A and B are shown apart, each in its own frame.
Chain A
Amino acid sequence: MGASNYLLSLLLLLPLLGAVVIALAPRANVGLQKTLGMAFSLATFALSLLLVTGFEPVAEMQFVERYDWIPAYGISFHLGIDGLSLWLVILTTFLTPVALLGSWSSIEQRVKEFNVFMLLLEVGMLGVFFALDLFVFYIFWEAMLIPMYFLIGIWGHGRRIYAAVKFFLYTMAGSVLMLVAFLVLYKETGAVGFGLAELLKRPVDPGLQFWLFLAFALAFAIKVPMFPFHTWLPDAHVEAPTAGSVILAGVLLKMGGYGFLRLAMPLFPQAALEMAPWIALLAVIGIVYGALVSLVQPDMKKLVAYSSVSHLGFVMLGVAAFSTTSVTGAVYQMLNHGISTGALFLMVGMLYDRRHTRDIAEFGGLKTVMPWFAALFLMVGLSSIAVPGFNGFVGEFLILVGSWRAFPGMVIAASLGVILAAAYVLWMIQRVLYGEVTNPKNEKLPDLSPRELAVLLPLVFLAVYMGIFSPQFTRTIEPSVAALVRDVRSAGAPAHNAAALPAAADAR
Chain B
Amino acid sequence: MPEGIPTGALEDGLLMQASFWVLVFPLVGFVVLALFGDAMKREGKADWGGYIASAMALLSFSSAAFVVSRLWKLMPVGDQGLRFAQPYLGFEWIDVADFRVPLSLLVDPLSAVMMLVVTGIGSLIHVYSTGYMHEDEDRVRFFSYMNLFLFFMLVLVLGGSLPLMFVGWEGVGLCSYLLIGFWYKKQSASDAGKKAFVVNRIGDAGLILGMIMAFTWFGTLDLVEIAENASSKPAEAWLVFGPLTLVALALFVGACGKSAQLPLHVWLPDAMEGPTPVSALIHAATMVTAGVYMVCRLAPLYAQSETAMAVVAGLGCATALVAATIAFVQTDIKKVLAYSTVSQLGYMFLAAGVGAFGVAIFHLVTHAFFKALLFLGSGSVIHAMHHEQDMRKMGGLRKHIPWTHWTFLIGTAAIAGVPLLSGFFSKDAILAAAHHHHHTVLFALGLVTALMTAFYMSRLYFLTFWGNFRGGHELEHHLHESPWSMVGVLVILAVGAIFGGYVDIPGIVAPVFRLPIEAAAHGLLVPVLATTAGLLGIAGAWYAYVKQPDLPAKVSASARGLQRALEEKWGFDLAFDWFTDKVVVGGSAGLLWKRVDAGLIDGAVNGAGTVVDAVSRAARGFQTGLVRGYALVILGGAVLVLSYLLWI
Q: Which residues on A are within 8 Å of B, measured CB to CB?
A: 166, 169-170, 228, 230-232, 289, 292-293, 295-297, 323-325, 328-329, 365, 367-368, 371, 382, 387-389, 394, 397-398, 400-402, 404-405, 411-412, 415-416, 418-419, 422-423, 426-427, 430, 433-436, 468-471, 474-475, 478, 482, 508
Contacts and interface: CB of A to CB of B under 8 A. Distances in A.
8 nearest CB pairs, A to B = A296-B589, A434-B190, A292-B588, A415-B205, A434-B184, A231-B602, A471-B95, A388-B167
B28 interface: no
Nearest to B591: A292
B339 to A, nearest CB: 25
A328 B588 contact: no
Q: Looking at chain B, what size class is its interface with the partner chain? A: 35 or more
Contacts of B167: 388-389
Interface in B212-263: 212-213, 215-216
A324 B184 CA distance: 44
Contacts of B382: none
Contacts of A411: 209, 212
Given A293-B588, A397-B163, A412-B209, A435 B187 contact: yes
B592 A289 contact: yes
B204 A418 contact: yes
Given A419-B198, A426-B194, A389 B216 contact: no
Nearest to A418: B205
B97 A328 contact: yes
A404 B218 CA distance: 14
Given A169-B609, A418-B201, A423-B198, A508 B97 contact: yes
Interface stretch (B55-63, B86-94, B119-127, B508-516): B86-94
Contacts of A470: 93-95
Chain A contact surface mostly:
helix
A426 B180 CA distance: 14
Given A296-B588, A415-B209, A387 B170 contact: yes
A404 B213 contact: yes
A226 to B, nearest CB: 12
Contact of B96 (A296, A430, A474): A474
Interface string B473-502: 000000000000000000000000000000
Contact of A418 (B163, B177, B208, B602): B208
B593 interface: yes
Contacts of A427: 194
Given A231-B602, A365-B185, A433-B184, A397 B94 contact: yes
Given A295-B585, A418-B208, A474-B95, A435 B174 contact: no
A328 B99 CA distance: 11
Contacts of A419: 198, 201-202, 204-205
A325 B99 contact: yes
Nearest to A400: B212
B585 A401 contact: no
A328 B97 CA distance: 9
B142 interface: no
A415 B190 contact: no
Contacts, number: 140
Contacts of B93: 394, 468, 470-471
Contact of A231 (B174, B181, B216, B601): B601
A159 to B, nearest CB: 13
Given A388-B163, A388-B167, A389-B171, A404 B185 contact: no
A329 B96 contact: yes
Given A411-B209, A419-B198, A422-B197, A368 B95 contact: no
Given A297-B593, A401-B211, 15 more contacts: A170-B605, A232-B605, A293-B588, A293-B593, A295-B584, A328-B97, A329-B96, A365-B185, A398-B96, A415-B208, A423-B198, A426-B177, A430-B190, A471-B94, A474-B96
A170 B166 CA distance: 42
A397 B208 contact: yes
Interface in B123-173: 163, 166-167, 170-171
Nearest to B174: A387
27 contacts: A228-B601, A231-B597, A289-B592, A289-B596, A292-B584, A296-B589, A328-B97, A387-B174, A389-B171, A397-B94, A397-B163, A398-B96, A400-B208, A400-B212, A401-B99, A404-B216, A411-B212, A419-B204, A422-B198, A422-B201, A423-B201, A427-B194, A430-B181, A435-B187, A468-B93, A482-B97, A508-B97
B391 to A, nearest CB: 29
Contacts of A324: 96-97
Contact of B185 (A228, A402, A436): A436
Nearest to B190: A434
Contacts of B3: none
B212 A404 contact: yes
A296 B593 contact: yes
Contacts of A474: 94-96
Contact of B170 (A166, A232, A388): A388
A402 B95 contact: no
A297 B206 CA distance: 27
Contacts of B204: 418-419
B98 interface: yes
Contacts of B212: 400-401, 404, 411
A396 to B, nearest CB: 9
Contacts of A412: 209
A434 B190 CA distance: 7
Contacts of A169: 609
Nearest to B99: A325
Contacts of A329: 96
A46 B257 CA distance: 47
A191 B613 CA distance: 37
A27 B263 CA distance: 66
A480 B206 CA distance: 32
Nearest to B588: A292
Contacts of B605: 166, 170, 231-232
Contacts of A389: 167, 170-171
B30 to A, nearest CB: 12
Nearest to B91: A471
B171 A367 contact: no
A286 B93 CA distance: 29
A106 B208 CA distance: 42
Contacts of A297: 593
B603 to A, nearest CB: 9
A290 to B, nearest CB: 10
B104 to A, nearest CB: 14
A115 B94 CA distance: 39
A306 to B, nearest CB: 9
Contacts of B593: 293, 296-297
A49 to B, nearest CB: 22
Contacts of B585: 295-296
A292 B190 CA distance: 21
A286 to B, nearest CB: 12
Interface in B24-60: 38
Contact of A388 (B95, B166, B198, B216): B166
B23 to A, nearest CB: 13
A340 to B, nearest CB: 16
A426 to B, nearest CB: 5
A475 B92 CA distance: 11
A394 B193 CA distance: 25
Contact of A402 (B99, B163, B190, B206): B99
Contact of A401 (B38, B215, B609): B215
B2 to A, nearest CB: 32
A232 B38 CA distance: 43
Contacts of B193: 430
A329 B96 CA distance: 9
Contact of A293 (B201, B216, B592): B592
A397 B585 CA distance: 27
Which of A230, A404, A419, A427 has its CB near the most chain B CB atoms (within 10 A)? A419
Nearest to A173: B608
